[in-house]
Amino acid sequence: MFNQLLLVAASLAATLPLAIAAPAAAAGPSSASGNPIPNKTTSSPRVTHTVVAGRPGLRFDPENIVATKGSIVEFHFLPANHSVVEAAFDAPCVPKDADSSFYSGFFPVSRNPDGSVRQSGEVFQIEVKDDKPVWFYCAQNNGQHCQSGMVGAINQDFNSAKTLAAFRRAAAGVSGPAGVKDQVQGGWRGPNPNPNGGF
Ligand SMILES: [Cu+2]
């Protein structure tokens, strides 16, 4: 009887440490194999906002863009020959006087043989640098695109008087031709990565 109790105690003593050790051992490999945090610090992919210039008519579509800092605005160009130029709010149809302001150059593109609309094989991309409003227009003077309302805004402040509607009204009153920069700047002009974007 006494020997049997000893045996039970001995077997308990033998199994208990194992029972306690098991969870620790199970926890060991996962912490030791270490997946140290990277999943939580990986930055999310950039958001790209597609804007089509020239559809419908003399418009950017969309013409009001809300974009966070670091995201990309990618302009696609329809026939016949549009452009995008950054302006200051108080001077629509005039290139913004800043080295960092953007100017895309022109994108001549013809329609398909069957008359349907296609887009330029090139796009113009800009990076949104901060949360401040950005104003832009098309500098095509054949048809006075800027004065006709081919303007747009990124991150306009709806609580201020500086709205896209006010910018468009001011553009309509510009008497001279719309201006351009000397060269493409402030963004990236290159092959269209998404020829169906915006369609
Ligand atoms: Cu235009």
Q: Where are the domains positioned within the chain?
A: 2-41, 46-189
In the predicted structure, residue 141 carries a pLDDT above the cut 70: yes
Could you tell me the distance, in angstroms and rounded to a whole number, from the CA of residue 123 to the centre of ligand 1?
14
Residue 121 in tokens: 């094989």
Distance, CA 14 to ligand 1 centroid (Å)?
A: 84
- Alpha carbon 167 to chain centroid, angstroms: 22
Look at residue 106 and tell me whether its pLDDT is greater than 60.
yes
CA of residue 121 to ligand 1 center, whole Å? 17
Q: The domain 46-189 is classified under which CATH number: 3.90.420.10, 3.30.300.30, 3.30.420.40, 2.60.40.420?
A: 2.60.40.420
Centroid of ligand 1 to alpha carbon of 46 (angstroms): 27
Burial (CB count <10 Å: 0-12, 13-18, 19+), residue 119: buried
Residue 198 Cα to ligand 1 middle (Å): 16
Tell me what pLDDT residue 57 has: 78
Tell me the pLDDT band of 43, cut-offs 50, 70 and 90: low
Q: Tell me, in angstroms, the distance from the centre of ligand 1 to residue 142's CA.
A: 9
Of 67 and 37, more confident: 67
Tell me: pLDDT of 126 over 50.
Answer: yes
Query: What was the pLDDT predicted at 175?
Result: 95
Q: Residue 23 Cα, ligand 1 centroid: separation in angstroms? A: 68
* Predicted local confidence at residue 44, as pLDDT: 64
Ligand 1 ion: residues within 5 Å (CB):
82, 138, 140, 145, 150
Question: Any idea which of 7-11, 45-49, 132-136 has the lowest mean pLDDT?
Answer: 7-11
50 C-alpha to ligand 1 centroid (Å): 16
pLDDT > 90 in the chain, percent: 68
Which tokens sit at 153? 């805004």
Cα(78) to centroid of ligand 1, in Å?
9
Q: What is the pLDDT of residue 80?
A: 94
The pLDDT confidence band at residue 31, using thresholds 50, 70 and 90, is very low
Looking at residue 196, its pLDDT comes to 74
CA of 107 to the centre of ligand 1 (A): 10
Q: What is the mean pLDDT of residues 52-81?
A: 94
* Mean pLDDT of all residues belonging to the chain: 83
